[in-house]
């Protein structure tokens, strides 16, 4: 018997849970940016090796980078859910070419967004580094 569709993704989802991902069958309300940043900021360092400051403690230019990072993480959840939905359509209807192509497009969009998330992480850390040099 095949594993449940989400079983294949459990390892990836487990990692994402620490950053606030919650799989559901309906879109979750977007958390407040400050709450989302609280989950994400542990991945960054600030002056003296401390964890990055809270969102409301960041200067405007650094806050802008942090907000972009938060928004991209939320976008990743939506794209992952789109991949799941496309995958389920294939499981239900079979590997019809149009369904496989739709899944491939959703998966490509997700992978591109992951790369953008990585780039935003670097830019956010660079912005936080300006606080050290300051």
pTM value is 0.77
CA–CA distance, 85 with 96 (Å, rounded to integer):
15
pLDDT of residue 1: 40
45, 42, 46, 36: which is closest to 68 by C-alpha? Answer: 36
pLDDT of residue 50: 86
Please list the rounded mean pLDDT of every run of 10 residues in the chain (134 residues): 51 62 59 92 86 94 96 94 95 96 97 97 94 66
CA–CA distance, 14 with 23 (Å, rounded to integer):
10
């Amino acid at each position: 018997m095949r594993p449940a569709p989400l079983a294949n993704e459990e390892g990836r989802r487990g990692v994402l849970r620490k950053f606030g991902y919650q799989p559901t069958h309906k879109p979750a309300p977007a958390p407040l940016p400050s709450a989302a940043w609280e989950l994400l900021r542990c991945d960054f360092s600030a002056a003296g090796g401390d964890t990055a400051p809270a969102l409301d403690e960041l200067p405007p230019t650094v806050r802008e980078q942090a907000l972009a990072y938060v928004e991209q993480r939320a976008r990743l959840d939506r794209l992952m859910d789109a991949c799941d939905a496309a995958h389920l359509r294939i499981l239900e209807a079979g590997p019809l070419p149009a369904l496989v192509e739709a899944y491939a497009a959703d998966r490509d969009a997700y992978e591109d967004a992951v790369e953008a998330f990585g780039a935003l992480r670097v830019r956010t850390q660079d912005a936080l580094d300006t606080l050290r040099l300051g």
